[in-house]
Structure 1
Amino acid sequence: MYRLGLIGAGRIGIIHGLNAVAHPKAQLVALTDADPVAADSLAARTGAAVRTTEEIIASPDIDAILICSPTDTHSDLIEQSARAGKAIFCEKPIDLSVERAARAVAVAEEAKVPLMIAFQRRFDPHLSTLQRQLRDGVIGQTEIITIMSRDPAPPPVSYIKRSGGLYRDAMIHDFDEARFLLGEEPVEVFALGSCMVDPAIGEAGDVDTAAVLLRTASGAICQISVSRRATYGHDQRVEVLGSKGLLRTGNIHETTVEHASSSGFLQAPVLNFFLERYAAAYKIELDAFLEHLEKGTSPTPTGYDGLMALRIADAATKSRETGLPVRVQA
């Protein structure tokens, strides 16, 4: 039984907290949040004690820390948890600064504690099956990957202002997904971005509609399109063209029922929120983290994976600003 402490009781903290309570090998011992109401509410749902961040990290009755707080706290919390000898599960991104994130990862490595970065898409049953088939050579050599990732609606502008921008915030998942599927590092990035959804997002210095091209040393290409608006739901599709065929995953609908008539075919809407779309992935992700702790193996995605996704995001941001392709820092 692994005793967990949760830092952050917002929407992603709630997901991980409830999954921890339901897991047969986990016990959610304590949690905290900057908002006492949020902390008390989740504590009532889970039976966990409410403690301060410092108490949770120092507690001898806690084996691992789940970091689900705002991004600008992640690096400090990774370092504090590592120095306390705790295993660490941290939400993405590690930090908005690659340099700061690298220092945090180095502290965890020096302390020899497990560090897992929460890119939940890797654990989605559909995407992980596709990735396994790619590695097994089912469609031969990968040539072009197309990733479509579109939210039903943009977050509040107050969130946009502290998010680090679309490439570091929303698209960081797509950059990790691209690395996961390509099986090799992108070496060059070209990015475009526009403000097509909400003028306030542009006034905040960000974009809400973007396309990015990644190229690897072997010549494989990944094209990613992202939007803060998809009126039909949370659009998450992947297509991989290989030398021997094609693999793809589609959207998840509310039901599998189809109605056919003389007017055509009708389907239920796609799932409207990422927490619903990736509900299974979040459970499998936590299970994978605990399994690594049990076996004493290094969890993935690693701190390096978190750094590489952030480096690609930085390159995309620079490319959009300059209008030129940008090399990815290795």
Structure 2
Amino acid sequence: MQRFALLGAGFIGSVHAKNLAENPNVTFAKVYDVSVERAAAIAELYGAVAVGSVEEALTDVDAVFIASSTDTHAANLKAAVDAGVAALCEKPIDLSLARAREIVAYAESRSARVMVNFNRRFDPDHAELKRIVEEDGVGTVELVQLTSRGPAVPPLEYVKVSGGQMRDQTVHFFDLARWIAGADPVEVFAAGSALADPRLALPEYDDVDTSVCVLKMPDGALVQIDNNRRTGYGYDERIEVLGSTGLVESMRHRARRVTHYTAGQVVESQMYAGWFERMQPTYALALDHFVQLLETGAPIEPSLADGLKAQAIAEAATKSLHTGVSEKIGY
């Protein structure tokens, strides 16, 4: 049994709390949040103990789930490293790539066991697509298409501190692109607009809600990622890999697999309402993967290095949005 602490009891922290409590190989021991009330509510619901500081949370545990606010990830990760506690950390490591590099170097110098929670890798359909590509099921990869279309623009207060669409939304798909292609892109071109909410173009937000990114791989293969913050039909996520001998696709999901056929009409089920409804099962799968790695001592993946590389792509893509030209990616 792995004794876990949870840092952060907000929305995503509450999701992780439930998964920690339900995992048969985990003892959900402690929870800390800047809001005493939120921590106490989580603790009461799942039988954990609410504590008053990060340091107390990291005492007498094997691992910590860092689900606190983005601006605390780096500090909490350093505290976990100093305490000798393994960590599962929500992305990003830090909104500043320079600061993220510093904390990763610090963690690696101490052989810390840290996983970045790129949970989409654990979607069963995406994982099966990856397996087929790895086993040469489509030949040499030449073109990868990823789609990330959310149902609604986030609140402006969130957008203001999110780091922008590339760092917040698309970074998951930069990671998927690397993971699926098995290589690191060398340059990226990004173009975007504020179409769903023109206020995003104002200086205080400096963001887009609709964008396309093109990544060039070392062998010349291309990856295209289309992103949209607002759809009129629900959440839409897809991956398509075209190779020299075939194609494999992880298709869009519907909320139900039911189709109604009547005279002159075919009615299919609707899409999932949002990204969380579509991706919720992947959080438990990612946690279970991390626990297995801790118990077996196997190498951690997705690693801190994976997190850094996805962030480096996001930085170059954000720069490209402003320069209007393709940007080299500095890892």
- 2:141–2:242 contact (8 Å) kept in structure 1: yes
1:42 aligned partner: 42
Structure 1, residues 52-111: CA drift from partner, whole Å, max 9, x if none?
233444412x11110001111111111111011000100011111111001111121122
- Are the counterparts in 2 of residues 57 and 86 from structure 1 also a CA contact under 8 Å? no
Compared CA separation, residues 260 and 171, structure 1 to 2 (3 A): same
Name the structure 2 match of 1:92.
91
Matched residue SS, 2:102: helix
Aligned residues of 1:147 and 1:223 also touching (Cα < 8 A)? yes
Q: What is the 5 A alignment of 1:43-192? A: 43-60=43-60, 62-192=61-191
Provide the secondary structure at the position in 1 that maps to 2:72: helix
Equivalenced residues, count: 329
1:258 aligns with 2:220: no
Kept in 2, the 8 Å contact 1:191–1:211? The answer is: yes
Shift of 1:280: 2.0
Q: Which structure 1 residue ranges, 5 or more long, are not aligned?
A: none
CA–CA distance in structure 1, aligned partners of residues 255 and 104 of structure 2: 39
For each residue in 1:103-155, what CA deviation from the matched residue of structure 2 results, as whole angstroms up to 9, or x when unmatched? 11112112222110000000000000100100000110111000000110111
CA contact (8 A) 2:89 2:116 kept: yes
Question: 1:314 is matched with which residue?
Answer: 315
Deviation at 1:271, TM superposition (A): 1.2
Identity of aligned residues (%): 39
Paired residue secondary structure (2:165): coil
Which position in structure 1 is the counterpart of 2:290? 289
Partner Cα separation in structure 2 for residue 255 and residue 68 of structure 1 = 30
- The CA deviation at 1:35 is 2.2
Structure 2 gaps of 5+ residues are none
Distance in structure 2 (CA, Å) of the matches to 1:262 and 1:35: 57
| In structure 2, C-alpha distance between the alignment counterparts of 1:231 and 1:224, rounded to whole Å | 19
Deviations 1:186-232 (A, max 9, x none): 00100001000112222221111110000011011000000110121
Q: Contact 2:58–2:85 at 8 Å: present in 1 too?
A: no
The CA distance in 2 between the partners of 1:108 and 1:30, in whole Å, is 23
Cα shift at 1:309: 0.5
| Structure 1 runs (4+) greater than 6 angstroms displaced | none
- Counterpart for residue 219 of structure 1: 220
Inter-partner Cα distance in structure 1 for 2:255 and 2:58: 43
Classify the secondary structure of the residue corresponding to 1:113.
coil
Partner of 2:18: 18
State the partner residue of 1:243.
244
* C-alpha distance in 2 between matches for 1:127 and 1:31: 32
d(CA) in 1 for partners of 2:254, 2:277:
11
What letter is aligned with 2:190? A
TM-score, with normalisation over the residues of structure 2?
0.97
Asked if 2 retains the 8 angstrom alpha-carbon contact of 1:75 and 1:104, the reply is yes
Matched residues in 2 for 1:54 and 1:9: separation? 13
Aligned residue for 1:259, secondary structure, equals: strand
Q: Is the 8 A contact 1:21 1:28 kept in 2?
A: yes
Assess if the C-alpha contact under 8 Å between 1:4 and 1:66 holds in 2: yes
Distance (whole Å) between structure 2 residues aligned to residue 54 and residue 34 of structure 1: 10
Query: Conserved in 1, the CA contact under 8 Å of 2:7 and 2:54?
Result: no
TM-score, normalised with respect to structure 1: 0.97
CA distance in structure 2 between the aligned counterparts of 1:196 and 1:79, rounded to whole angstroms: 39
Given that 1:5 and 1:56 are in contact with CA atoms closer than 8 Å, whether structure 2 keeps it comes out as no
Output the CA distance in 1 between the equivalents of 2:22 and 2:103. 30
Task: Supply the RMSD in Å over aligned alpha carbons.
Answer: 1.1
Query: Counterpart in 2 of 1:27?
Result: 27
